[in-house]
Amino acid sequence: MKIAFVSPYDWSVHGGVNSHIRHLAARFRDWGHDVTIFAPASNPDDVAGECVVMGRPYGLRVSGSVARITFAWASPAVKRVMAENRFDVLHLHEPLMPLLPYHFLRYSHAVNVGTFHAAKEGGLRIYGYTRPLTRRWFRKLDGKIAVSPAAANLVNRYFAGYFNIVPNGIEYEHWAEKRDPWPEFDDGKFNILFVGRPEKRKGLKFLLRAYLRLRQKRQDVRLIVVGAGDFTRYRRLMEPFPDIVFRENVSYEELPRYHHSAHVAVCPNTGNESQGYVLMEALAAGLPVVASNIEGFAGVVANEVEGLLVRPKDDVAIEDAILRLIRDPALREGLSQRGQVHATRFSWDVVAHRVLSYYERLLYERQQVAESRSRRASRAALTRM
């Protein structure tokens, strides 16, 4: 099968969407498929072997974050590559994000598949502003994937349709493989793990409040905060409490060791999470989880089955859930075992097979439609004779 991936985002910058494409492309190539990736890039020379560069990206503020996309008029270049390559499948990620996906949809004669990644409870302004222009491109999608019910609900606010739910993937074995705990945390204390960036929506302040309440009742607890970014503000506020440990910019290779040093993971995010990589990674590592009952997380775990879901922005509920896990080892073990088994469905091999099966169904349906039209044309020709 000949497959084209299109990312609207700067390929020189690592992010969730580009990582998703990389993993799918790697699996498909391993299985013998011909895959080409198209994307803009701020450093074209650095990514020349990974993708076909289409334009230079610029920062666009979208819902509180910056999306690095291209506004280059790539139409002639896209027309040429689509004519030179007879792709079976054109798979666009965030297909309604300006401007590159529109050019590919314009010239595509392949089966067009779009994957929607974003989730935002209050809606996405760029979808609302551009809807009069983008409806025509949405109609050109033969297949639509959303990485979670939350992502599907966001798009459905503006473009109604059926969305096949295929989740983001994780490197399951990377997290599930047993690791020795860090010696400094292997001292008999109950370790609580937070993984995330120092952003407001990650909800760290609610976990810190819950922990400060908890340590008034228990002296055998520790909070480990791990993430990419600058936690200086939090570090200064928590300086009087040496049992709150901050570890910034931990590498991907070292991160699972923190999971295997902890007894529970807490994901206190306040919203706008499509699915939650940190939640899936904690499950794969065999950690019982306490997570906010937001749409993106509720689509990953069932309360009391693979984890405990609590009210968002509620430090008392977080504290109560952690205390419950401390006091009930059997509950921790049950959540751990069920969660780790559940996490296997998010492995990249499973996700890639589901996407490939979707391609095959869409190609089959197109073939059936073409054969039906051919039969009708033959009958019409015979009638005229």
**Distance (Å, whole) CA 137 – CA 161:** 13
On whether the CB atoms of residues 95 and 9 are closer than 8 A, the answer is no
**Distance (Å, whole) CA 146 – CA 167:** 7
Q: What is the pLDDT of residue 63?
A: 56
Per-residue CA distances from 99 to 58, 95, 382 (Å):
11, 9, 47
Q: Where are the beta strands (DSSP E) in 51-174?
A: 52-53, 57-62, 65-70, 89-93, 111-116, 143-146, 164-165
Q: What is the pLDDT of residue 282?
A: 98
**Distance (Å, whole) CA 55 – CA 99:** 10
Per-residue CA distances from 138 to 94, 121, 156, 187, 254 (Å):
11, 21, 12, 56, 41
Closest to 2 measured CA to CA, from 31, 30, 35 = 35
In one letter, which amino acid is 81?
Answer: V
Q: Residues spanned by CATH 3.40.50.2000 within the chain? A: 2-169+348-376, 172-346
Q: From the CA atom positions of the chain, what is the Rg in Å?
A: 23
3-state secondary structure of 262: coil
Residue 191: burial class (beta carbons within 10 Å; 0-12, 13-18, 19+): buried
The pTM for the full model equals 0.91
Per-residue CA distances from 252 to 179, 248, 289, 324, 340 (Å):
14, 12, 20, 30, 19
For residue 150, the number of C-alpha atoms closer than 13 Å in the C-beta half-sphere is 23
* Overall fold of domain 2-169+348-376: Rossmann fold (3.40.50)
In one letter, which amino acid is 331?
Answer: L
Which residue is listed with tokens 């004519």?
A: 83
* Overall fold of domain 172-346: Rossmann fold (3.40.50)
Peptide bond into 237 cis (omega under 30): no
Q: What is the pLDDT of residue 228?
A: 86
**Distance (Å, whole) CA 193 – CA 322:** 11
Q: What is the pLDDT of residue 65?
A: 64
Which residue is listed with tokens 């775990």?
A: 301
For the chain, which residues score pLDDT lower than 50?
none
| 139-143 contacts at long range (C-beta below 8 A, 24 or more positions apart) | 140/105, 140/108, 140/112, 141/92, 141/95, 141/105, 141/112, 141/113, 141/114, 142/111, 142/112, 142/113, 142/362, 142/366, 143/111, 143/112, 143/113, 143/114, 143/358, 143/359, 143/362
Q: Which H/E stretch holds residue 39?
A: strand 34-39
**Distance (Å, whole) CA 306 – CA 128:** 36
